[in-house]
């Protein structure tokens, strides 16, 4: 998936595959409570919740840098 551009279809596909967030550009499956996961992250970590991304336009989604 390296270099793939995010779209609404990409986000839905990730959600259907069991991913909940994108942390530092990488899709992640969260095995614990989402808030507990977020609280464990460092100040320099970047997190996007996939469910929230469904309200973004494809233009906005294309600005997300995907590294994995």
- Per-residue confidence (pLDDT) for residue 62, from 0 to 100: 84
67 is a domain residue: no
Return the DSSP state at 15.
H
Handedness of CA 16, 19, 20, 22 (dihedral sign): negative
Number of structural domains (the chain) is: 1
Q: Which residues are 48's β-sheet partners? A: 22
Predicted confidence pLDDT, tens digits, the chain (68 residues): 456 778 899 899 999 999 999 998 889 999 999 899 989 998 888 899 999 999 999 888 888 766 54
Q: By the 8 A CB rule, do 66 and 1 touch?
A: yes
- Per-residue confidence (pLDDT) for residue 49, from 0 to 100: 94
Q: By the 8 A CB rule, do 52 and 39 touch?
A: no
45 is a domain residue: yes
Taking alpha carbons only, the member of 37, 26, 35, 14 closest to residue 67 is 26
1 is a domain residue: no
Q: Residue 51 belongs to what domain range? A: 8-61
2 is a domain residue: no
């Amino acid at each position: 998936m390296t270099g793939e551009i995010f779209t609404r279809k990409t986000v839905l596909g990730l959600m259907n595959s069991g991913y909940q967030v994108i942390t530092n550009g990488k899709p992640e499956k969260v095995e614990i409570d989402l808030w507990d996961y977020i609280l464990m992250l460092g100040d320099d970590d970047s997190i996007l919740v996939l469910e929230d991304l469904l309200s973004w336009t494809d233009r906005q989604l294309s600005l997300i840098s995907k590294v994995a």
